[in-house]
Structure 1
Amino acid sequence: MRPVFFQYFRPVLAGIATVFAAEIASAESAHGIAMYGEPALPPDFVSLPYVNPEAPKGGRVVFGNTGGFDSLNPFIQKGTVPWQMRFWGYEGLMGRSQDEPFSLYGLLAESVETAPDRSWVEFSLRPEARFSDGSPVTVEDVIWSYETLGTQGHLRYRGLWGKIANIEQTGQRSLRLTFSDPDRELALVAGLRPILKKAQWEGKSFADGKLQDIPIGTGAYVVDDYEAGRYVSFKRNPDYWAQDLPLRRGTRNLDEMRIDFYGDQAVLFEAFTAGELSAVREFNAENWATKYNFPAAQRGDVVKTEIPHEKPSGMTGFVMNTRRPLFQDWRVREALTLAFNFEFINDTMTGGAQPRITSYFSGSDLAMLPGTAEGRVQELLTPFADILPAGTIEGYTLPQSDGSSRNRKNLRKAIKLLAEAGWTVQDGVLRNDQGEPFDFTILMRQGDSGNLTVTEIYSQALARLGIKVTEAKVDNAQYTGRLAELDFDMTPFRRALSLSPGNEQRLYWGSAVTDTPGTRNLMGIDDPAVDAMIDAMLNSQTREDFVAATRALDRVLTAGRYVIPIWSFDVGRIAHIKELKYPDTFPIYGDGPSYMPEVWWYQD
């Protein structure tokens, strides 16, 4: 019977072997991973294409932040942290190239494997990977980091944990994550999670750590000194484990980086002109053209550098909290947008030099196209046609004024829309049918002089509609706390977006976090169409489907009129001391925390 048995099952065994071989081939260990296709850089790449691999090490620089800080743990919901910390001192299993939207390369991990359907991902740790205290990074540290950040960390880290069906050690230096949801991006998201040291937190609460409880990471910089609310100083670890790794060669060049804190932007700029700061980013084209003629700039000791980019505009403006009944009608939100005289305000603030943001992904190939939705975009939106605001499918453009201070035509349109929504002027005051006045508060940070000027102009226009606006100026801690508790009517808003949008979109606009304290969905979007477009993005199997889904999402967000958009940052502007140098080649992402100071160096 034995020969008969093997003769009968030989085709079956051959089939099993073929399937197994295909699985192994498609899940072969690699030096990197891409959302679609393969990473651009080969396994033997020497350095990133936009860095100077021979950049010298050394130098001390000082940067400035406004506000203050009461925490040095950038991974928890509690407290205000210097925003640069998580970029300077911490790393994930994989790292980004700023020249590729959807590719990651091995960092703490020397290799990565995925299933053909991306239902699991497996990482193998580098034996040389070390925390800043010199201790080795272990699989136990990695698994602990995923679980701790996923259950006790900041909201930005919690979404992934809910999609991990299983996480297990598969070898001395390897682990596998199996996902519960079909989502091609999860393997990449997992690769970017920061890895922290488990032993540091034994007997301590991670979520409620004190100011002195600074997480130990694997990055090049460690906190050297600080004074709460005044300054924090970082020093480059001379024994940084990855300094010769191709992904890191030519980066992390500065020996010391200090952040000083100032009450407002005006005082910070004065400190820069006095030589107390090494660099500032300028976001106003008018200021860039007129305010950088102080003596140090005239002598050439301060240099102005512009960095082009191909990023989406993201969204900058004034966000309306739709949890408030006042802002729940899209016609009201459109009326408030009509009353915002952008052309006049832009001329006043920037000399008209900065173009207006036209959608969340404007300036990139992910942006919605003008006119009526077509093709795949229309297919995605049509099931929600009955609940979508006007303009979503047929096309929406922001209102334009004639540039004069009166803005009469748009104000007339606003009055008509407000009347349709049940608001009419009674004795000079806009009221509803119950006689309740239309008034609201714009929450502001103290010292935010630029936005304060904008709101003053805007408030005057709203007064002509019978709307009363109050500006509430609070300190940095109060501002952060009120946003976390969603305690605001309208407030300045900035959401940067990338060329590789993914799971973070749920955190920005998803209904699952609409009412969660600390949510980044500040406008309070609770829309099945938004959720469906995000799902379509995450489940896309081709680049073409992904672009269509992103354009559809862009339409729903923009036509939702949640934010009154202002000007875009079409180029990065950095003024800096002449000793700060940068490579000749710019990445497609342009400026950002992964560009300056990451690839810059100090040279006398």
Structure 2
Amino acid sequence: MRNVVTGLGLLSIVLSTTLQAAEPAEVPTVHALALFGDPALPPGFDHLPHVNPDAPHGGTMAQAAQGSFDSTNPFIVRGTPASGLMQVYDTLLESSPNEPFTMYGLLAGGIRLDPDRRWVEFDLRPEAHFQDGEPVLAEDVVFSFDTLTTKGSPFYRAYYSDVTDAIAVDRDTVRFELGDSESRELPLIIGQLPVLPEHFWAGRDFEAVTRAPLFGSGPYRISEVSPGRRIVYQRDDSYWGKELGLNRGRYNIERLEYDYYRDQSVALEAFKAGLIDFRLESSASNWATAYDFPAHEEGLVKQIIVPDGQPAGMQSFVMNLREPRFDDVRVREAITLAFDFDWLNQNLFYGAYQATDSYFENSEMEATGLPSPGELELLEPLSDELPERLFNEPLPIKQPDDLRQRLYKAMDLLRAAGYEARDGVMINTATNQPLNIEILLYSTQFERIAQPLVRNLARIGIRARVRTVDVNQYLNRLRNFDFDMVVGSFPQSANPGNEQREYWGSEYAERPQSRNLIGLEDPVIDTLVDDLIAASSREEMDAAAQALDRVLRWGFYVIPQFHLAAYRIAIWDKFGYREPFSPYALDLSSWWIDPERAKRVESRQRNR
């Protein structure tokens, strides 16, 4: 429900008031930070363009969540956090889903950025308060920064690694000292900091798993916790920010319910029975065939497609380089050749998807053809550590179209890597061990995608098996990198930046719960990530992303899967929303319950 655009990589900040000629003492206070030009909305704007400022309040939205949960603290390594918890917390700034490069003041009513990017200051709104009535103070911001970067998930340590200090200048002003002025996105990602109440956490163990109804300063408060089964949020009528232009017409629904189901097929049946109101459908097969039931025929259930303007990113089978069997790039390439997207798309997906090639799919940051001059400027100094084919062979990587020919090529690669087939099994001639792989899953829904891969791997002598475990066991194994292969996702925004360190950076390869699932420890990739973060223009950023994309793809670290540049949504027809939808995020906070349609739906559900 909160409009959070994952991993904003904002590379060139231009304040709505020009700063170049300003002396430090004359730095103006502005209402927003924007990339490439001015913010679209002026100071004091009434509401965001995609919302209905007169939307009614009330009603319930029930959604299904997968698996289980045992924690209401979403910021720590331990425990499995419940869905929806970030709706409880406000941040200093919030992005607009209508602009890819702008963040407006939320808790912060004013922003000052040093022209030399040595510091950024935020003036807190004096009316901002936590859900217990206590004011939000600069000390709370400093506490949040210090706590999240030292005791929170590794993500925060990576995301804010270039901040050298956070200082409460006075009661309502907080200042961040910036150690890396080349990271053009840094002031904006500081604005994404969730602010926690210091007075609540005093004397409490922040790192301990808790099921208490924790609170922040956001638009919803936790009203019901049933661990592993259900969590409910209630709209906070005393929310301090409900009249801000950023929030007017948002957070309209009174109750948000998340009911947990261990199996997606059971969740689908719950939707059909009217126990769930809103369903984000991830299965092309379900989308095509599973919604043919009476309520749909009566017009009480709708299927809608919402375009997604963000890069598709990379969803893939991820190989764990911490396992020695994946050390050789020829072995990794051979494994990728066994994945048959065309067969899956035709037989399982009703032709709904497109094959994914790039880590920045569906964007200008995708590397294509041979390296561009901008890429070569970054890659050539690193050429001694890169394969020659990276410079000489174009992207996308050309592989045989016929599966049989791909499998022949895979066997040749395995033989070159030191394997030989013995009784139909690929054996490492140096260790005399078979090449075995376990694909770890938490949802049976992905088994139908993994099993064809398992069968194709068997044809080239690789023994693979699928193991599906419950969500908690899966997360524990994921945190400790205890897997051979998993299905992983590396989402991207239109402006990648600091989050790339945690995806690919060497310092996160062995850090529990980091997003470096692959286990990459490569100085070349570290250098390219630094180049991407330091880019000072859109052209430099695109070239750096393309160079990084090219190196990752020639490393064959993952088996790319497929993508759809849209959201598939099934709903019971009681919701109101404005069209066209915002282009850069699915902002459910702008939806509302239509009272008349809700009565019709609820009558049908009661009489079912």
1:142-192 per-residue CA deviation (whole Å, 9 max, x = no partner) reads 111110111101111112554322322223311211112232211111111
Whichever residue aligns with residue 103 of structure 2, its letter is: L
1:503-532 per-residue CA deviation (whole Å, 9 max, x = no partner) reads 111111111101111111001111222212
Distance 1:52 1:555 in 2: 43
1:473-521 per-residue CA deviation (whole Å, 9 max, x = no partner) reads 2111100000000000001112221112111111111111011111110
Q: Report if the CA contact (8 A) 1:429-1:437 is conserved.
A: yes
Q: Which residue of 2 aligns with 1:6?
A: none
Distance 2:26 2:461 in 1: 65
* Identical amino acids, percent of aligned pairs: 40
1:206-242 per-residue CA deviation (whole Å, 9 max, x = no partner) reads 0114222x43211111110111100001000001111
Whichever residue aligns with residue 22 of structure 1, its letter is: A
Q: State whether structure 2 residue 489 is matched by structure 1 residue 494.
A: yes
Q: State whether structure 2 residue 305 is matched by structure 1 residue 306.
A: yes
* Structure number, greater radius of gyration: 1
Whichever residue aligns with residue 412 of structure 1, its letter is: Y
Q: 1:51 to 1:565 in 2, by over 3 A?
A: same
Q: Report if the CA contact (8 A) 1:371-1:396 is conserved.
A: yes
Shift of 1:361: 1.0
- What SS does structure 2 have at the residue aligned with 1:366? coil
Q: Which residue of 1 aligns with 2:191?
A: 191
Q: State whether structure 2 residue 461 is matched by structure 1 residue 437.
A: no
Distance 2:38 2:523 in 1: 33
Q: State whether structure 2 residue 86 is matched by structure 1 residue 83.
A: no
Shift of 1:37: 3.5
Q: State whether structure 2 residue 478 is matched by structure 1 residue 483.
A: yes
Q: Which residue of 2 aligns with 1:101?
A: 100
* 1:384 pairs with one of 368, 379, 382: 382
1:79-116 per-residue CA deviation (whole Å, 9 max, x = no partner) reads 11123212x11111111111222221100000111111
- What SS does structure 1 have at the residue aligned with 2:390? coil
Whichever residue aligns with residue 77 of structure 1, its letter is: V
Whichever residue aligns with residue 372 of structure 1, its letter is: L
Whichever residue aligns with residue 593 of structure 2, its letter is: Y
Deviates most, 416-425 or 251-260: 416-425
Whichever residue aligns with residue 422 of structure 1, its letter is: G
Within a 5 Å distance, the mapping from 1:229-268 to structure 2 comes to 229-268=228-267
Whichever residue aligns with residue 227 of structure 2, its letter is: A
Distance 1:209 1:383 in 2: 47
Distance 2:460 2:513 in 1: 33
Distance 2:387 2:248 in 1: 50
Normalising to structure 2: TM-score of the pair? 0.91
- What SS does structure 2 have at the residue aligned with 1:386? helix
Q: Report if the CA contact (8 A) 2:360-2:492 is conserved.
A: yes
1:233-254 per-residue CA deviation (whole Å, 9 max, x = no partner) reads 1000001111110111111110
Deviates most, 388-397 or 431-440: 388-397
Q: What is the count of residue pairs matched by the alignment?
A: 574
Q: 1:41 to 1:388 in 2, by over 3 A?
A: farther
Within a 5 Å distance, the mapping from 1:306-455 to structure 2 comes to 306-368=305-367, 370-389=368-387, 391-394=389-392, 395-398=394-397, 402=401, 407-434=403-430, 435-445=432-442, 448-455=443-450
Shift of 1:402: 4.5
Shift of 1:565: 1.2
- What SS does structure 2 have at the residue aligned with 1:424? strand
Normalising to structure 1: TM-score of the pair? 0.92
Q: 1:462 to 1:193 in 2, by over 3 A?
A: same
Distance 1:195 1:245 in 2: 18
Q: State whether structure 2 residue 171 is matched by structure 1 residue 180.
A: no
Shift of 1:24: 4.4
Whichever residue aligns with residue 415 of structure 2, its letter is: A
Q: Which residue of 2 aligns with 1:58?
A: 58
Distance 1:310 1:323 in 2: 35
Deviates most, 122-131 or 392-401: 392-401
Shift of 1:572: 0.9
CA RMSD of aligned residues (A): 1.8
Q: State whether structure 2 residue 217 is matched by structure 1 residue 218.
A: yes
1:443-493 per-residue CA deviation (whole Å, 9 max, x = no partner) reads 111xx2331112211111111111111222211110000000000000111
Q: Which residue of 2 aligns with 1:599?
A: 590
Q: Report if the CA contact (8 A) 2:159-2:499 is conserved.
A: no
1:247-267 per-residue CA deviation (whole Å, 9 max, x = no partner) reads 111111100011000111111
* 2:458 pairs with one of 457, 463, 480: 463
Distance 2:407 2:388 in 1: 19
Whichever residue aligns with residue 29 of structure 2, its letter is: S
Q: Which residue of 1 aligns with 2:70?
A: 70
Q: Report if the CA contact (8 A) 2:444-2:468 is conserved.
A: no
Whichever residue aligns with residue 439 of structure 2, its letter is: I
Q: 1:226 to 1:548 in 2, by over 3 A?
A: same
- What SS does structure 2 have at the residue aligned with 1:442? strand
Distance 2:118 2:459 in 1: 57
Whichever residue aligns with residue 411 of structure 1, its letter is: L
Q: Report if the CA contact (8 A) 1:308-1:590 is conserved.
A: no
1:394-421 per-residue CA deviation (whole Å, 9 max, x = no partner) reads 4332566657xxx211001111111111
Shift of 1:61: 1.5
Distance 1:397 1:129 in 2: 51
Q: State whether structure 2 residue 588 is matched by structure 1 residue 588.
A: no
Distance 1:38 1:276 in 2: 45
Shift of 1:26: 7.4
Q: 1:20 to 1:416 in 2, by over 3 A?
A: closer
Q: Report if the CA contact (8 A) 1:580-1:602 is conserved.
A: yes
1:258-286 per-residue CA deviation (whole Å, 9 max, x = no partner) reads 10001111110010011110010112333
Distance 2:346 2:84 in 1: 32
Distance 1:20 1:385 in 2: 38
Q: Which residue of 1 aligns with 2:9?
A: none
* 1:536 pairs with one of 510, 513, 531: 531
Gaps of 5+ in 2: 1-18, 597-608
Deviates most, 163-172 or 476-485: 163-172
Q: 1:230 to 1:44 in 2, by over 3 A?
A: same
Distance 1:486 1:54 in 2: 49
Q: Which residue of 2 aligns with 1:555?
A: 550
Distance 2:50 2:547 in 1: 32
Distance 2:72 2:196 in 1: 14
Whichever residue aligns with residue 428 of structure 2, its letter is: N
Q: Report if the CA contact (8 A) 2:215-2:222 is conserved.
A: no
Distance 1:401 1:347 in 2: 18
Q: 1:399 to 1:320 in 2, by over 3 A?
A: farther
Q: Report if the CA contact (8 A) 1:150-1:158 is conserved.
A: yes
Distance 1:267 1:117 in 2: 56
Distance 1:401 1:583 in 2: 46
Q: Report if the CA contact (8 A) 2:439-2:465 is conserved.
A: yes
- What SS does structure 2 have at the residue aligned with 1:288? helix
1:303-326 per-residue CA deviation (whole Å, 9 max, x = no partner) reads 111111221111112110011111
Shift of 1:193: 0.5
Q: Which residue of 1 aligns with 2:565?
A: 570
Q: Report if the CA contact (8 A) 1:26-1:116 is conserved.
A: no
Distance 1:285 1:194 in 2: 35
Gaps of 5+ in 1: 1-18
Shift of 1:390: 5.7
Distance 1:74 1:260 in 2: 17
Whichever residue aligns with residue 32 of structure 1, its letter is: A
- What SS does structure 1 have at the residue aligned with 2:563? coil
Within a 5 Å distance, the mapping from 1:22-33 to structure 2 comes to 22-24=22-24, 27-33=27-33
